[in-house]
Structure formats: C-alpha cells, structure tokens
Structure 1
Amino acid sequence: MQNLLFIDGNWTGENLEKFPVYNPATGDIVSEVPKGGKEEAFAAVEAAHRAFESWSDTTAYERAALLKKYFHVIIDHEEELAELMTKEMGKPFTEAKGEVHYAANYIEWYAEQAKRIYGETIPSHDKNKRLQVWKKPIGVVAAITPWNFPAAMLTRKMGPALAAGCTVVIKPASDTPLTAIKLVELAEEAGFPKGVINIVTGSSSEIGGVFLSDPRVKKITFTGSTEVGKVLMRQGADTVKKLSLELGGHAPMIVLNDANIETAVQGVMASKFRNGGQTCVCVNRVYVQSKIYEQFIDVFAARVKELKVGNGMESGVNIGPLINQAAVEKVAEHVQDAEKNGATVVVGGGQPEEKGNYYLPTIIKDANENMLIMREETFGPVAPIQKFESIEEAIKLANDTPYGLAAYVFTENISQGTKIIERLDYGIIGWNDGAPSAVQAPFGGMKESGLGREGGHQGMDDFLEIQYVSIGI
C-alpha cells in the first residue's frame, strides 16, 4: 500500500512532512501519511479539472462498466480493507467487513444509475419550438469525509459523482486516511483514467480552503459536524458552490405502550451500539411510555450486559474503542452530568479496567431534558431513557432540537405510527427498525442536519446540472 497522495495518476508526497495515524485500541502508530497543503490541493484540483473534459465525454455505459469493475475489486480486497479500517478506526472487524460491503454496494448501485440519467421533453406552447431538459455533470467535486465510516462515506460520494461524469478530489479525515487511500489505490487498479480520482491528506484548513476558493471546484460534498458545515457554507458563498452537507444528529427513539418490547430492544441495540455509538444516526435519546418503562429497561439492560468490549481485532468483540481520549472525556462528562441531575446508571457508567479509549456500554434511566446528554450528541455507547405519558409529549420532546437527521418510532399501531411520523421533523425515520440505512434509499437531514440527499436515485441529483433547451424549427 502506497500511503501517499494520489494526484493526476501519480503517487506523490514522499518528501512532505508526515503525520501519524494511531490505532485507538492500542495507541500504536499504524502508519504515517503526507501532510499535504495548499500546493498539493491546487495540483489535485488542476488534475481533476483537466480530466473532466474527457471523463464527462464518456458514455454512461463506459462509466457503468468501470464502476462495476471497481465494485468487484473492492470485494476482492474485503479482508484487507476491513483489517485496515479496524486498526485505524477501532470498530470490530465484523462491523468493518460489513462496512466494506456497504461501501462497495454504493459503487454497484451507482454503476446502474449511470445509465438512468434521463432528460425530458416538454410539450411546447409553440408549434415551431421543441422544448427539452438536459442533464449534465456539474464538474469537479471535492469530497470531504469523516472518520467514523471511512469507506462508506467516501463511496457514497464518489459513486454518484463518477457515475454522473464528474471528477473527484478527496480530503479524508486525518484520524482515518488509510482506508480512503486504499480505496483510491483500488480505483487505480480498476482502471480509472488519471486525474479522475485524486486524494490529498493533511491540513484541513489549507486543503479545504483551496477547495472552497477555487472556482473550478463546482461542488462540495461533506459529512461532519454542523459547526464545520456552517463554515463551509459561508466560505463557499464567494464562488457559489453547490453543497451537499450531511451534518450532526441527535436522534430520538419513541417507544409506545403497544410496542413489541423485544423488537424495540433489538432496534435500539442495532442503532445505539453500532460503531460504539459513533454514528450520526444512532439513537441518542430514548423515550419510553410509562406502562412499559420498567419492563423495557429490564430487557434492554439484560442485552447490554452481554456486550463484549475490547480490541476490534479480537474475536467476539461488540464494542471497540472510541476514536480518541477526547471522545472518552465527552462521554464521561455526559454521564456524570446526568447523574448530578437525577439520573441513575443501570448498566456501565465508566471505563473498563484497561481504560485507554474504551467506555462501557451504558444505560441511564430517569433522564430529563435538562441534562447535557438529552441536548447534545454524545457520540458514544450511552443510552439515556426518559419516561413519557402522552404521545403529544413524546413528539414535543423529540422535535425539541435544532437537528433533524434520524428518528425512530416503535409501535404496532399503524394509525398512531403514521400520525407520529408525519409530525417528526427528521429526514430519516425507522419505524420498528433500528437500521434504516440502505444504498437505494435517500439519506439526509432536515433543519441543521444538512442539505441534499445521498443514496438512492436522489443521490445523483446534486452532481448534475439541469439545462433547459428551447429549439426553434
């Protein structure tokens, strides 16, 4: 593996200063990568701009065939990618393998969607005119990806961009650049032309500054915090960038009295503890109606006690380390604040004996809206539970946040479920489902959780320009 920058078809950056990538499970250095900056970012944009003319001129079938080949190359390297991801990010190896497949499926899905970019013919108001709508690739796309899903968040952006005929410059998270570099290496193996895909690691401010200020970059696609997303919006305004932003979340889960408790517990387990709770759509607040409150907690606690914490490369591990010590400290702060404000820890509530970047899977009961954990995204394996009486109360609590990415509802009553969902201000809803994400479905949020959608046929839209053509005959 190169562990270098990839610009215009060449691996480069050997002479640049390097920065280390740490294994959060052990603290060991996994590798070192070049610290690129303005010069390297500019070169990557230049290469992508040059390549755009020829790449955008390829047929949809040519792009689809190359993406299909790329899909198979990724699958062939599943074990290598999963091990690399576990070592730099910490998630259990089985989860990492699942993410590799999820990531590859985005490439396969958009290989097919490349052939379904349809225009329109509009009925004319004039017998001597023919009205048409054409769709064209937007141009150079800058993809800025997060550390928590270093494979899937990249292919969810690259897939539609490449299928549409765009070229790509990538800035991966500095905590987890190795998976992205490997995916670019596999793209080279698949045969993408030089300049079509480029990757620059290093200074976020310098690299991102070039992406945002260079008029040749037509679109920014970003997954990360709401705070950074707002900065990108402001900085991209000078060149009127098109933006796709998948930002922060604070997902509520509403469990009604008539819910199947086993199904609800299975749902919160799948959502809350995947990736150690370090996902933007994971359950952050659990609201359980009063009649089943204690029973739900008893069943949930029994399941959580079975979870194994440890190094993701060890067999049977369900919860790996958090990404770094700062993440551990934030989780601990939220739990301590909840206890000070009247909550009770049912399970967990601290670090295991080996400490490090680990935090035990935790359940907190008797939470309330005055606690930090009910107002801020925790990004860790902690589930706070609050009792509610009426459905109106639950909806009000669920919507009382500036975020609107994902929410979950558990009820066997179709009428009640439908009415609740219609009133929830969230872009993604899991109804009796703790894992709603799918490559064929649109992913994105309302309110301050972002702009645009990724995945599904809707995920292609932001990589295309609509051109209206009026033809006089």
Structure 2
Amino acid sequence: MYTDLLFYIDGQWTAGSAGNTAAVLNPSTGETLGQLPLASSDDLDTALAAAASGFETWSATSAFDRSGILRRVAALVRDRHALMAECMTLDQGKPLAESTMEAKSAADHIEWYAEEGRRAYGRIVPSRHAAVRQLVVREPVGPVAAFTPWNFPINQAVRKIAGALAAGCSIIIKGPEEAPGAVIELVRCFHDAGVPKGVLNLVFGNPAHVSEYLIRSPVIRKVSFTGSTAVGRQLGALAATHLKLTTMELGGHAPFIVCADADVEAAAALACALKFRNAGQVCASPSRFYVHDDVFDLFARRFTELAVQLKVGDGFDPSSQMGPLANARRLMMVQELIADARDLGATVLTGGNRIGATGHFFEPTLLTDLPKQARLLNEEPFGPVAPLLRFNDLDSVIAQANSLEYGLAAFAFTRSLKTATELGNRLQAGMVSINHFGLALPETPFGGIKASGHGSEGGTEGLDAYLTTKFISQAGL
C-alpha cells in the first residue's frame, strides 16, 4: 500500500545526491515504513534551476491549456484516491475514512483552480487622452517555494500546487517528512497528466536548511507556508529581508461559543466531530469552548457522552473514529497541557490518559474549571483536548474569544439572527462559522489574521495570491 519515497525534480523521480535519509514511522504501530531521502544543497540547486526553467515554459502556456492539464490531474486524483488515502493512514495515522475524504476532495480543489485560472481578468482604465490606452493585467508572480505540514498532507499541498499552477507559476514543494507518502502520490498525478518538467518539484529535508536555502534564492519570488506561528514568524522575517511575497497560514486557538438559545444537541454533536477530527491536530479546530451558564451542564453532559463513545484505534480498523497523535512530540505536549491544567485545579470530565504503550493513542479529553492562566487556554493544543468554560453575557464572551493573539477560525451556535450577525461582525478571526461547519471549501477563502497569518488559500483569493498586477499605459505614435 505504501509508496516509493523519492524526490520529484525537473520531471524525474530521484533519491537525491547526498544519500541522507530519515525513517518514516507508522504512528499506530511504531514500525518503520521506509527511508525518506533528505535534500542536499545540490539537490535544492537542481530544483531551483528546474523551477526557473519551468516557469518560463508554464507562464507562456495559455490559461486555457493550463486548465486542461489541471482537469486531467483532477481525473487522475479521483481514480487514485484510494492509494493516497492508504498512504496517509499509514504514515499520518488518521482513520481511513478521513484520509479518503481528504484524498477525494483534492480533485475538487484542482478543478476549482483549473477553472478560476481562466478568469484571471485584467481591466481597461478609461484614459484622460484619446490616444492613450491604459491596461491592467494580471501576471504570475514567478517561481514559488511552498512548505506544507503533516496534519493534512494532501489538503495543504494541493491548494498551494493547484493555485500556483493555475496562475502560471512554477513551484517547489517541501513536503512533510513525517507523512510523505500521499504527497508523493499526489505529485505523481500531476506528472502523469502531462505537467511540463520543472513546473512542479517536490523535495524533503531538514526544514530549517531547506526553507532558508530556498527563500534566500533569487529564483524564488513567492513563499507560501502552513505551520506553526513560531516558524511562520521566522520564515516571514526571512522572506521580508529578501522582499518576497508571502502567504502565511499559521496556528489557531479557535473559540466555540454556545449561546443560551442554541440547539444544544446540534452544538454538542458538531463540537465532538470537529474537536476530535484528526485527533484534534487541526489548525482551525475549536479549542476553547465557551458555553452559556443556562445550558452549560446540558452541553457538558452531552459532549462528554459523545466523547466517551468515540472508538480510538488504528486507522485501518473500520470501527476507529479517531487515530493516534502523529508523533511522540504531540503526545508529550498534550500530556503536559493536561498536567498543567490539573495542577491549577481543573476538573477532568473524561479522558486525560494515554491509551496503551504502542503507538501514540490518547483518550478524547474534556476539562472544566480551568483558570485563565492555564496553558491549555493560551497555547494551541493541537490534540484531542477540549476545555469548557462558562459565560453569562455576549460582550464578555466576545472579549474572551478575542483575547488571544490567534485569529484563524471561530465558531458559534445561536438561534438569534441578531446575535449571529453580531458574532460574525465582532469575532476577530479570518473565518467565522455559525450553526454549522462551513470552512475549507475550494471556492471559499481559508486564512487567518493576527498571529494566525495573512493571505488566503481557496476562492478567488487563493488565485490572487500567485498573481501580480502590471499597469500598461500605451500611447499611439
């Protein structure tokens, strides 16, 4: 089920030049799946030269022809989604049903960009002089360096690749070293669909070395990064030094507000589904649950019942509803956050413990009675841990929701149109979803504000991220 672990550079699959490798592990069993090559500076130079040459070819290809190739890619992704899903469950751990959904949705993203790339319209600006024609045109920004995380190996990579290619850019993707299999199979679809050599390149390696080397290169004109706020700050500062355009999709700590008039059953069901999806390893996952006093006990009881019923296990077990944490680092961090909360007097409603000694499995966990200084309320948990807090009035809960530096996503439940409108207006987040989960569709922008980054992927904004504006003023002789 697993794939050969290779780079893709200048249209060729290669193990690289240096011979350095890292083991890829199955987080459910601890077994080694394979040895992943790590890029040397020579490998990166080859990828940069390929991206420069690929840009010359691809940017001169019509938007119509680029669209046709991308549509062929989407068809291949649909045909091969099962293999990509299996690779993802093996090296990332999420249940096969979640991996399958992610793999299938990649085709939708590619098709969206295939069509949107044909609509990168410019405009004519009326001139003050009859003999002058004033044109505004949109052009691809140039070769792109993109860095993608392990929590959604396909989803995060495909939005960057499809957006860049639809705009006419070439791209070098540094994929996730801990979960490379599905990304390799995704890139294989682009290759087999006829994307010209050099247009798309895939490498893996030491993150600090690869990111610094690519961003410093004069070949790269745009940087797209998805990952932690801490690393995003470092890469953003480096890109700014070299005046490179950036898209940064960084950490989150999303509030989930349940008002007194909410449908509590629906709110609890969605809270459980969103919180424990991918074992809570989701940047837009709700991670602070603010519940009105009038419905707090009812919500907490129902949320707890649903969490207790979740089956945690190997992603290939059809009965598993939550897989393991992706690595030992996440397991340790979740344990530290819960221990800190307990030391400060928090009450554990359910969970709080590692499951077994093999793999990185952890119980779905709910806590309450947390003081404001608890690390869990201030640091992105990125795990299956849900803190529940009480509130009494809308102004106070909005202030609490907005109190952190993060601003990626926010969620709320209310039957009041007035309250829903106020929450939509006042919550400081790049995305607000009320009474349902409505984020991350191909046609809608995905991105944050404040320390959660800037720029968007998806929607027309996702194409704009890879285009620059040129003004042409042309006078008759």
Q: Of 3, 8, 11, which aligns to 2:10?
A: 8
Aligned to 1:63: 66
Structure 1's unaligned 5+ residue stretches are none
Whole-angstrom distance in 2 between the partners of 1:322 and 1:254: 26
Instruction: For 2:455 and 2:399, locate their aligned partners in 1 and report how far apart those are by CA, in whole Å.
Output: 25
Tell me which moved more, 363-372 or 37-46.
363-372
Map 1:214-233 to 2 at 5 A: 214-233=217-236
Once residues 334 and 322 of structure 2 are traced to their aligned partners in structure 1, the CA distance between those partners, rounded to angstroms, is 14
Structure 2 equivalent of residue 167 of structure 1: 170
Which residue of structure 2 lines up, in the alignment, with residue 178 of structure 1? 181
Separation in 1, partners of 2:161, 2:135: 28
Q: What is residue 312 of structure 2 aligned with on the other side? A: 309
CA distance in 2, matches of 1:325, 1:160: 33
User: Could you tell me which amino acid in structure 2 is paired with residue 5 of structure 1?
Assistant: F
User: Secondary structure of 2:415's partner?
Assistant: coil
The residue that corresponds to 2:197 in the other structure is: 194
Q: How does 1:249-260 map to 2 (within 5 A)?
A: 249-260=252-263
Q: Residue type of the partner of 1:13? A: A
Per-residue CA deviations over 1:413-442 (Å, capped at 9, x if unaligned) read 010111122111100111011352211100
Cα distance in 2 for partners of 1:97, 1:333 equals 32
Q: How many residues align?
A: 473
Q: Is the CA contact (8 Å cut-off) linking 2:279 and 2:322 kept in structure 1?
A: yes
The separation in 2 between residues aligned to 1:252 and 1:461, in whole angstroms, is: 29
User: What amino acid sits opposite 1:421 in the alignment?
Assistant: G
* Secondary structure, aligned partner of 1:151: helix
| 1:352 Cα offset (Å) | 2.0
Q: What is the aligned counterpart of 1:235 among 230, 235, 238? A: 238
Partner of 1:466: 469
Q: In 1, distance between residues paired with 2:438 and 2:278?
A: 12
- Deviation of 1:349 after TM superposition, in Å, equals 1.3
Q: CA deviation at 1:42?
A: 1.4
Residues 203-247 of structure 1 show CA distances to partners (whole Å, capped at 9, x for unaligned) of: 212221221111110001110011111111121123211100000
Secondary structure, in 3 states, of the residue corresponding to 1:404?
Answer: coil
1:374 is aligned to: 377
Contact 1:272 1:381 in 2 (8 A): yes
Corresponding residue of 1:24: 27
Partner in structure 2 of residue 262 of structure 1: 265
Q: CA RMSD in A?
A: 1.2
Deviates more, 1:159-168 or 1:14-23: 14-23
TM-fit CA distance, 1:369: 1.7
Q: Cα deviation per residue 1:238-278 (whole Å; 9 max; x = unaligned)? A: 32111000001010111100000011112212221110100
TM-score, reference length from structure 2 = 0.97
Q: Distance in 2 between matches of 1:294 and 1:128?
A: 73
Q: In structure 2, how many angstroms separate the alpha carbons of the residues matched to 1:234 and 1:334?
A: 29
For the residue of structure 2 that corresponds to 1:330, the secondary structure is: helix
- Partner residue of 2:56 out of 53, 56, 63: 53
Secondary structure of 2:309's partner? coil
Deviations 1:27-65 (A, max 9, x none): 011111211122111110110101111111111111011
Structure-to-structure mapping, 1:24-423, within 5 angstroms: 24-354=27-357, 356-423=359-426
In 2: Cα distance, 1:370 partner to 1:245 partner: 28
Q: Distance in 1 between matches of 2:356 and 2:184?
A: 35
CA contact (8 A) 1:144 1:171 kept: yes
Please give the alpha-carbon distance, in whole angstroms, between the structure 2 residues aligned to 1:382 and 1:86. Answer: 21
Q: Give the share of equivalent positions with the same residue, in percent.
A: 38
Q: Is the 8 A contact 2:71 2:111 kept in 1?
A: yes
Give the 3-state SS of the residue equivalent to 2:470 in structure 1: strand
Q: Structure 2: how far apart are the matches of 1:147 and 1:242?
A: 24
**Superposition deviation, residue 316 in structure 1:** 1.2
Query: For 1:230, what is the secondary structure of its paired residue?
Result: helix
Give the partner amino acid of 1:6: Y
Say if 1:140 and 1:167, in contact at 8 Å, map to a contact too: yes
The whole-number CA distance in structure 1 between the counterparts of 2:177 and 2:51 is: 22
- Kept in 1, the 8 Å contact 2:16–2:38? The answer is no
**Structure 2 residues without counterparts, runs of 5 or longer:** none
Cα deviation 1:87-145 (Å, max 9, x = unaligned)? 01000000000000122211111011111110011111222211110001111011110
